Amino acid sequence: MNVTRSFYEGFEKRLEHARKKSAPQSTQDFYRAMIQYYKSIYLAKEEGKPLAWVGAFTPVELFHAMDIVPFIPETHCAAMASQDHLTQYLDAATEYGLPVELCSIHRAMTGMVMDEVVPTPDLMVNSAHVCDSGFKSFSTLSTHYNCPEFVLDSPRQCNPEDINYFAKDIKRLIEFLEDFTHKKMDFKKLERILSLSNQAHEHFYEIAELRKNVPTPLRGRDSFRTFSIYRYLAGTEEALPYFAHLREELQTRVKEKKGGIPNERFRIYWAYVPINYYLGIFDWMEDEFGAIVVMDLFNAVYRMDADPSDPLNYLATKSLYDLYISCLGGPLETTLQDNIKIVRDYKADGAVYVAHVGCKQGCGMIRPLRDALREELGVPTLVIDADVIDPTIISKENLESKLESFFEMLEEQKVH
């Protein structure tokens, strides 16, 4: 079974259903974009294009410019978890020898390789941004596939010195891709792609800004579509209709003072990863308690001032302006101020932090963040020991019970 084929065929069915139901234009655009993404991966070999396994924080625009098809296995695992349990792949990774203490995303990724359900890469490109497990997993799997690997040496902060350093490393990546493909980078084509990427970034930022409104115009689960398109299809024509239509839809809702849900009661900042095997938890929160996620770490974005006509500087800046990378890469003082600003700007009543059991970086900032939000803003944080894709860590019932108690506490705070 090739999971990329089953995915694009599944999205084709969803698009057909969305059309029949006259779903919002952005919903239909999302399905079209995801069809394009997975179909390009499935057809890469047939069309004679190299297939690159790309780390989640690697600039995909470079691959589009070089006619290399990028596949992001980490986010694919998260997407699969939202549709089906990945227990068989986690078991396959354990049988292969990976300890259960590792991040489940990378264990599942390895298990899919062992079960031969993912496309074989011609090359791998990863970055040393924030994730130790990803760094090791890509290295191990490049040996398994006997394919070349490149690792971007990304700095931790977004200042002129670090941007200049990273731009030089991106140049090294371009040279690596040129050696692999035996052709030179067309920088005019790259500039056009980066112009599209910049338009998507502007829309992404404006959508995030619109979510500050009370009531917030976007439902929690829907926001992760936005992140997916931004991550998968940056620099492509397919991404822009989704962003443009969603922005217009949210602008209309804000103008009409309509929220993403009719009964907004609690505004929640989802401070770390979503629980992908149970994304329905966002619907449950909204329906049962009027608790809506107004912002999350994946969709929070900085305003960026960078020129696509300077490709290396643009890509370095865009990569280092990613708030997820900033928050997990440190320094801690900057991370705490960023999170405080999000909670303040989005008028959040509370924060929820999923302590993903395999993530050392994420779990390391829990106590400082919880203390900072309480001391600076008087905002409480619920910490839930859980996993992004593994449902055996916490049951749906226990997850709901913890959230229910948290919302009851927020209700008491509102009363007093």
Cα–Cα distance between 165 and 156 in angstroms, integer? 11
- Helix H or strand E encompassing 255: helix 239-255
Residue with tokens 């931790």: 156
Band of pLDDT at residue 101, cut at 50, 70 and 90? confident
Confidence at residue 414, expressed as pLDDT on a 0 to 100 scale: 79
Query: Residues 330-340: what's their mean pLDDT?
Result: 84
What is the percentage of the chain residues whose pLDDT exceeds 90? 68
Band of pLDDT at residue 208, cut at 50, 70 and 90? very high
- Helix H or strand E encompassing 381: strand 381-386
What is the percentage of the chain residues whose pLDDT exceeds 70? 97
pLDDT in tens, 20-42: 999 999 999 999 999 999 999 99
Torsion of CA 22, 26, 32, 38, to 10 degrees: -130
Bridge partners (DSSP) of residue 348 are: none
Band of pLDDT at residue 135, cut at 50, 70 and 90? confident
Span of 19-28, 97-106, 209-218, 235-244 with lowest mean pLDDT: 97-106
Q: Which of these, 322, 301, 29, 19, lies nearest to 158 by C-alpha position? A: 322
Q: Which structure tokens are listed for 187?
A: 């920088």
Cα–Cα distance between 118 and 77 in angstroms, integer? 10
List CB contacts of 290: < 8 A, sequence separation 6 or more: 261, 263, 264, 265, 266
Q: What is the residue-averaged pLDDT of the chain?
A: 91
Query: Residues 229-257: what's their mean pLDDT?
Result: 94
Band of pLDDT at residue 260, cut at 50, 70 and 90? very high
Band of pLDDT at residue 326, cut at 50, 70 and 90? low
Query: Residues 60-64: what's their mean pLDDT?
Result: 96
Cα–Cα distance between 328 and 369 in angstroms, integer? 12
Q: Which residue has the higher pLDDT, 232 or 44?
A: 44
Taking the model in full, what pTM does it have?
0.93
Q: Which structure tokens are listed for 278?
A: 């149970």
Buried b (16+ CB within 10 A) or exposed e, 296-306: bbbbbbbebeb
Bridge partners (DSSP) of residue 382 are: 352
Confidence at residue 27, expressed as pLDDT on a 0 to 100 scale: 95
Residue 184 exposure: Cα atoms within 13 Å on the Cβ side: 3
Band of pLDDT at residue 329, cut at 50, 70 and 90? low
Cα–Cα distance between 57 and 65 in angstroms, integer? 17
